[in-house]
Amino acid sequence: MKRIVVIHGPNLNMLGKREPGVYGSETLSALNDQLHKIADHHHIALTCRQSNYEGQIIEWLHQADEEADGVILNPGAFTHYSYAIRDAAASIRTKIIEVHLSNIYRRESFRHTSVIAPVVSGQISGFGFASYRLALEAFIGEDVIE
């Protein structure tokens, strides 16, 4: 059975409350439920985690190298400056897809740079919850390449 880990970064626990004009009005729980339904349908073991702490995200990436076939990572604001998360992503063999609910390239200029993108298999942004679903579908179809 394929094993996928979803790592939601900082402030994603506030979905539904935080800037609904940017992130929508649905909750993180609703997103995880949608992903679990898709995963269950395809007989995939899915684990969803959320942390506001950089070190915890790094630990989960390290664990994924031993425990997962793929990672869907939304590093949140860490996307733009966390070389520690970037280095953790670069250090594992497990394929990673970076996702964002909003289109980071249409937002403030400081959000236009991802230090994570150069070391992951791909990036999907700007499609709300569908960004995560598209990443999961890429792993289901084994369409993720280096």
pLDDT tens digits, 123-146: 999 999 999 999 999 999 876 555
Q: Is the pLDDT of residue 22 over 80?
A: no
pLDDT at residue 146, rounded to an integer: 58
In DSSP notation, the chain reads --EEEEEE-TTGGGTTTS-HHHH-S--HHHHHHHHHHHHHHTT-EEEEEE-S-HHHHHHHHHHHHHH-SEEEEE-GGGGGT-HHHHHHHHH--SEEEEEESS-GGGS-GGGS--SSGGGSSEEEESSTHHHHHHHHHHHHTT----
Write down the pLDDT at residue 25. 67
What's phi and psi for 17, nearest 5 deg? -110, -40
Note the pLDDT tens digit of each residue in 98-126: 999 988 877 667 676 899 999 999 999 99
Indicate which residues carry an active-site annotation.
23, 100
Domain 3-101+111-140, CATH number (from 3.20.110.20, 3.40.50.2300, 3.40.50.9100, 3.30.420.40): 3.40.50.9100
* Domain ranges within the chain, ordered by starting residue: 3-101+111-140
